[in-house]
Structure 1
Amino acid sequence: MSEHFSERDLQQQVSDLETRSTTAARLFDIRRIIGGLFVLYGVIVMIAGFTASDADIDKAQGVNINLWTGLGMLVLGLLFLLWLKLRPTAPPPEPLPGEREE
């Protein structure tokens, strides 16, 4: 048996699929992944910087390198997430009437 769909049903299904595709593209935006990883690693490295011993700081010529590196990574990750918030991914353009997608 073959299923018969009306033109309206097909248009609704196409519209639903386009909405899901756009949502998936926004969810897996590379800026979100990079920003999230930098924030996560920045927090971990900052915790290592807070718990650094005097011997570790002396090895780095008196600079708590883990604390400063973690802070830099945290700021960079937050900048990526801010960029994502201020400039979201644009939805794909609608095809013109009469154009076919291949």
Structure 2
Amino acid sequence: MSEPRYHLTAVAEMLRLSPNIIRRYERSGVLRGQVVAGKRLYSDLDVLRVRRILSVTGLGVNLAGADVVCNLLDRIDSMEAEIVALREQLRRLLED
């Protein structure tokens, strides 16, 4: 996971959202920032998740459905990274 570094207001400004929307995502459980030194911070992956939530809810999907879609997209991202690593490992083995 990427390091948390953005305050709620910074994320809201980046995405041109009301901070209340981000708070709502937190309350509903679809977004989980981290508390660092008593302040809630968000990582680049959290910002990506908010973007994905906005895209999916913009299609008419509710927050529970958006959470499912985002979790599936996270798994796809993870699997794609694993495939890249396995291909690199295979390439090295074939070179020997």
RCO greater where, 1 or 2, for CA within 8 Å and sep 6 or more? Answer: 1
Q: Would you tell me which structure has more strand in proportion to its own residues? A: 2
Q: TM-score, normalization: structure 2?
A: 0.34
Q: TM-score, normalization: structure 1?
A: 0.32
Structure number, greater radius of gyration: 1
